[in-house]
Amino acid sequence: MSEDGFDRTFTELFPTPVLVARVPDHETLNKELKREIDAVRNATPNGRPEAWSCDVYTTFHSNFSLHHQAGFSRLTSRFMEGATEFAKGLSYPMHENDLSIEVCWLNIYGRNQWQERHNHSAHPIVAIYYAAAPPNCSSLILHSEHADTMLRPQYLGSDQVDHLSIKIDPEPGMMVVFNGHLRHSCTANNIDEERISVSANFNINLKPE
């Protein structure tokens, strides 16, 4: 009970969960991935959807089955570990459901390339792994669900309760996992070195009773 007699509680409802992890031994993993990524890039045309405004190289429409390729098997295992930890953190009934990767693809950002705001709403879990992330490369921006509807006064806080967006600066070996409905984008890559990420969309499939 406060001094003025009011019994009050301040509650942060509807949090947005995000898992950021550093994959162990990522130096070795990224060396292996570089060979595989170079091979995919040499053999696969740009699969950029027509709806995308950016001109980033992607295999989204030309090869979205990287998780089935032998050279990506170690990364696939890490993806499964990260998504499983995320699902358990949200108390999803993993003992009753089967977590699986539906699609997995490559994105390569050169100088001045970026990604507009979008989401993966058809999938409950999304994971991004950074195989190459030079200093000062393109950032990942996570956008509040209320960003387009909220009247926001001047914000003086230092926490994340009332932010309209949160910036994550990628590092080699970093994995970011979040819900598919969360809108996200990438800032322009203002360096000459390439930023390389592999993304995966997950399904949680109900097991028959």
Handedness of CA 33, 106, 83, 178 (dihedral sign): positive
- Any domain includes 93: yes
Q: Is residue 57 helix, strand or coil?
A: strand
pLDDT of residue 208: 66
- Position 107 pLDDT exceeds 70: yes
Structural domain containing residue 103? 18-150+161-203
> Per the domain annotation, does 6 fall within a domain?
no
pTM of the model: 0.93
Report whether pLDDT(209) > 70: no
Asked if residue 7 belongs to a domain, the reply is no
**Pseudo-torsion of CA 30, 121, 186, 113, nearest 10°?**
80
What is the rounded CA–CA span in Å between residue 146 and residue 148?
6
Residue 72 has pLDDT above 80, yes or no: yes
Looking at residue 153, its pLDDT comes to 73
Asked if residue 155 is part of any domain, the answer here is no
CATH of the domain at 86: 2.60.120.620
Question: Which DSSP state fits 162?
Answer: T
Residue type (1 letter), 113: Q
Q: Is residue 3 part of a domain?
A: no
Helix (H, G, I), strand (E, B) or coil at 69: coil
Residue 62 lies in a domain: yes
Note whether residue 139 is domain-resident: yes
Structural domains of the chain, count: 1
Chain mean pLDDT for the chain = 92
- pLDDT over 80 at 4, yes or no: no
